[in-house]
Each structure stands twice: as structure tokens, then as C-alpha cells.
Amino acid sequence: MEEILKLLDGYSIFKLDNKGNVVEVAGFEEIEGSFLNVVSEEDRKKAAKLFIEASKTGKAEGVLRLKTDDVYRVFHFKFARIGEDIYGIAKEIKKEEPSFMSDFLGNVIHAREEWEEIEGRNIYDIVDEKEKLMDVIESAIEKGEYEGKIFINEKEAKIRIKATQWLEFFIEEDFYRLLEDVIDARNANELFDKVKEAMENLGIKYSLKLFDMQYGEQEEDAIHVFPIFKRGESVGEIRVYEEIDGVNYNFLKFISITASKSIESMEDICKILQDFAVYKIDEKGRILYANRKFEEITGLRIEEIVNRNIEEFAENRDEFFEKLKQGMVENFVSKWKGKDREIIAKEHARRINGEIIVIIEDITYEKEKEREAEFYNSLLRHDIFNKNEIAMGYIGLLEKTNLTKKQKTLIEKIKHVIADSNKLIENVRKAEEIRKPKGELFEVNINEVIKNICKSYEESARKKGIEIHCNIDDVVVEADEFVGEIFSNLIKNSIEHAKCKNIRIYGEREGNFYKIYFEDDGKGIDEEYKEKIFEEGWRKGGSGSGLGLYIVKKLMKRYEGKIELDGVKGKGLKFTLYFRIPTRKKKPEFLKIRF
């Protein structure tokens, strides 16, 4: 087990008998007796359920808390049945310490550093709507735990209240969630975005550099510099240009450390494990062992492949062993001859005690989708578009000949079909563009954008007897060059499909957002379709690509906003779009709490 633990650095591994008693453990503190002994009391039912599920089905996974003193350690567990035994592997996600604790009458008896201001006070004296807090605490006492939302200085956060011998308040403010996102970043671009998102949450002047990516001007007069490392070598830094308090200083220090660890984890085998399919070979390539997950993804039966050479089943072994001479193999992609099909696999290998242990991950589906997308994009953007342009040229020549009235009508219809085809190609291109990692957002005057879009659709709306009413404030929001596509798609959708007489676009400010309402008085939508309307390619009859509203929702997510739909059949549609207003907000006065 210790050998496997070396391969899965950062994980804890244990072996249980068929009654749940610990037989062997590595990475955890010593456990005696039942595995449930290490699980916090409120999660023991959940742990038992996972054990039973693994015993019955062969595998299970979930998140469990372990409690030490007043700190909860949160682990992600995976269980697998091998023979009569249950093997478990666990990765610590985070530690949880109550933000503050009170007695059952609300008197705060202990608080973490960032909440120390309320220590010794009564929680009822701080919150709005005391009756609501009484209901919340009553629920926590009755059920043992309460989960819900809380507003701290009008900023939303999550709250969990545990009723033990005290009331333990766990408040997960945005930046704690953001730190978890930093830890879980899958690549450098995503890590850059997550660190930037965490920094924006603080509302301070800063610049960020990571590898060749940069946000903000790097000035020499930085008050604080927080470096980001990759295995001891600096690959970036966060520069802060104003004074910050001790809590924010510690938070920023933790961001830089977390980002550094995240970079290392991107190359660390324990980060890229998905299904833990494993095989072992010796230095000559002879297969010594494979687990059931390996059998599952390749279709190759273990008893049929053990003692045979890996070259019979996998390509590029010379390259594989050449890379292994350097000490390890990471993200090695090769073809495998499975039982009934070929698969494309990604492999990660280590040498341990003269044996080569390899974790294999099936990426056939992803690779096929990549190739398929590349093919269709090439076909749509180049070949079909070019052929459409040639067809339009021939139609232009045909229009100069003597045509009957009916022939002219048919030609106009052909031109419309070709134009729709080209619009589809353009929508596919835009959908692909917005799937890519976003670039830097910038300030956009949303009033100017919407007015220009409305003006461009005035003629097509007038032909259908539709009036467009636009009343947007002169306000700046965070967006990019694609923002006009949102309103272009919404207006076009109403004109072509809503059978409406009026389109109204207006807005109002709400906190750090500018809310834009887009509504028409058309035929509305059936309740059953409200969840589907934003899906890629969805449409209910009629023409169109089914990409318009999908693009709208993806863009709103890109801008870290959201879109909501309200509509009733026969009474029109109403979309509410939330755009972020860029602010360098001052730290609000502590403390206003609202449940």
C-alpha cells in the first residue's frame, strides 16, 4: 500500500474488511476498529451508505467530514470493492473551522480573526429580521444543522449552522469559494482567471502576472508583492498598490501559495486521476498486474493479458520507455487495441521498486469530439460558405436574364435560404469563439451598444408591424466585443418567432449590477420549454439554428452575470440580464447581516 501511496501523492489510502473495520491504512492517523470512528457524527449515516453502496455495486464516492477538536477536515472519498475487501482513497479538500460560535441564546463566545469584532456580542443585536433568525436557529436545533443563504453588507454568502454543544456558524464568503476554485483550476488560463476573480472580489488596486498572461499595469511602487512559484521558480506575481488590513494580507498570501500549489498539481499525477485504472509492467514491458477499472475501459480481461507484452496492445511503446528514462511519464497519449474497439488513452507512469506503475485514462470520446468539431468547423466556415458565395454569383447572373414573375419569386426564396445558411455558419463560429477561454473584460457603454443594435433592426421590425422601445441608462458594464450579440439574438428571436407588436428594453441599477429587462408582448412560451430554451441547438419548430439563446446564456456567464426568463403562454416573454458594473468599491463598514 505504501508503494501505491507514493504514486498517489497527497492521497490517503485504507483497506476495510467486509464489516467496515480498518485492516490497513496509509496517510491517515491510526484508526482502530470501525472506519466510522473517524467520521464526524453527522456524516456517519452518509459514510455507512457509501460503504454499503461500494459493497453492493463495487464502487462509491462522496464527501465526508472528519472532526478534530473544533476543526472539521473535509475529504473526497472513493471506495472500490476488490474481492471481499473494500479499498478507499481520500483527498483532503479543505479544513473547516466555525466562523464564530454562540450559545443557544445567541451570545457569541468565540470568533475567528475576521469575525473577532462580534465576539462577546449577541447575534440578535447584529442581524436584521430577528424573527427570521429565531426560525433559523430553531430549525438548526431541531434538525442538528441548517443550511441557507446570508447577506453580509448586502453581499451574498452561504451559511451552515451546526447545533452541537454550541451553535457553530460556518459562513462561506465569496473569497473562500474562490480559493477552492483556484485550487481546482485545470490549466494555466483557468488559474489566471480564477486568481483574477478572487482579486476582483477584494476591490483593491492590483496587477497580476502569470506566465505570459498579464492583467493591469505592473508599477514599481507596489506596497505588497505576492509571488507565484512553480517548483521553486517564480512564474508570476500579484502586486497590490494600496494598504490592506491583516485579514486581506493573509488572504492574499494564501492566494499566492494556493496558486503555486495548483500549478504543481496540474503536473502532479494525483490531480489528473479520474477513474484510477491501473496496470503494472516490468522494465521489459511484461504486464504484471491490471485492476478491474483497467479491464472495464479497455475490454481486455486481466487473466488474458497478464505476462504478455504491452506492445501487443498499445502503440508507441519505444517513445513511452524513452520518456520513462527521464524519471516519469506524464500525459502520454497513445492508441490501444481494446477488446472490441480501439481507444485513445492518456497515461501517467512512475517507477516504484523496479516496477512501472501506470494510471490510464480513456480520452477516446474527447478526442473524437475534438476531431469532429474541427472537421465541421472547417467544412462550415470554408467549403460551404464558399459554395454559397459561388451560388449567389450564379443567381446574380441569372437575375440579369429575362425571367418570369414566378421565376423571380423563386430566386428570391433561394437567396433567402442561402443567406440563412450563411447566418448559421456565422452563429456556429460565434458559438465556438465564446467557448474559448475568455480574454480580459473591459468597460462597455451598454446604452450605446443597445441603441446601435436596436437601430439596425428597426426596418425588419417595421415590416412586421413591430415597434422597438429602448430606454437604457448611460451606464458602463463589464463585457467584451461580443456583447452586442446578446441583444441582436434577443431582438431577432422576437421579430422572427414571437408574433409580437412591441419589444421593450429598459434597465435599472441594483447593487453592483445593472439589470436590463428585455420583453415582448408575443405568444410567450409553454412552461415545459422554459428550461430547454437556452440549450445548444434547441428549437421548437420553425427555422433557425437553435444557437441564438444558447449564445446569449454563454455570454452572460462569460461576463460573470446571469440571465433569467419569465414568460407565460399567450402573454409574452421577459428576460432579465444582470451585468456587472465595474467598481473600485471601498470596504463596507462591518457589519450588517441579513438571513
Query: What is the pLDDT, as a whole number, of residue 361?
Result: 81
pLDDT band of residue 312 (cuts 50, 70, 90) is very high
Judged against a pLDDT cut of 90, whether residue 65 lies above it is answered with no
- pTM (2 d.p.): 0.36
Angle made by CA atoms 133, 137, 140, in degrees to the nearest 5: 140
Look at 38-47, 261-270, 362-371 and tell me which has the smallest mean pLDDT: 261-270
For residues 262 and 187, give the distance between their C-alpha atoms in angstroms, rounded to a whole number. 9
| Range picked from 36-45, 416-425, 543-552 for highest mean pLDDT | 36-45
Question: What topology is assigned to 175-269 in CATH?
Answer: Beta-Lactamase (3.30.450)
- On whether the CB atoms of residues 207 and 223 are closer than 8 A, the answer is no
Query: What is the pLDDT, as a whole number, of residue 309?
Result: 93
Q: Domain ranges for the chain, please list them.
A: 2-96, 100-172, 175-269, 274-362, 366-435, 442-580
From the centroid of its chain, how far is CA 457?
35
Query: What is the pLDDT, as a whole number, of residue 465?
Result: 94
Grid coordinates given for 212: 505570459
Look at 103-112, 265-274, 382-391, 545-554 and tell me which has the smallest mean pLDDT: 265-274
Domain 2-96 CATH assignment equals 3.30.450.20 = yes
- Paired with 471 in beta bridges are 506
- DSSP sequence for 184-235: T--SHHHHHHHHHHHHHTTT--EEEEETTEEES---TT-SEEEEEEETTEEE
Do the domains at 274-362 and 442-580 have one common CATH topology?
A: no
Architecture of domain 442-580: 2-Layer Sandwich (3.30)
**Residue 200 amino acid letter:** E
If DSSP states are collapsed to H, E and C, what string results for 406-457?
Answer: HHHHHHHHHHHHHHHHHHHHHHHHHHHHHHCCCCCCEEEEHHHHHHHHHHHH
Average pLDDT over residues 200-218: 85
Nearest CA-CA partner of 295 in 320, 308, 277: 277
Question: How far apart, in Å, do the first and last CA atoms of the chain sit?
Answer: 48
Grid coordinates given for 464: 412586421
- On whether the CB atoms of residues 5 and 11 are closer than 8 A, the answer is yes
Helix (H, G, I), strand (E, B), or coil: what is residue 397?
helix
For residues 395 and 169, give the distance between their C-alpha atoms in angstroms, rounded to a whole number. 72
> Is 10 or 505 the better-scoring residue by pLDDT?
505
Mean pLDDT of the chain: 80
Report the phi/psi class of residue 102: left, alpha or beta, with left for phi > 0 and alpha for psi in -120 to 50: beta
**Residue 472 amino acid letter:** I
Architecture of domain 274-362: 2-Layer Sandwich (3.30)
For residues 456 and 17, give the distance between their C-alpha atoms in angstroms, rounded to a whole number. 71
- On whether the CB atoms of residues 497 and 548 are closer than 8 A, the answer is no
For residues 573 and 579, give the distance between their C-alpha atoms in angstroms, rounded to a whole number. 19
Nearest CA-CA partner of 35 in 53, 17, 54: 17
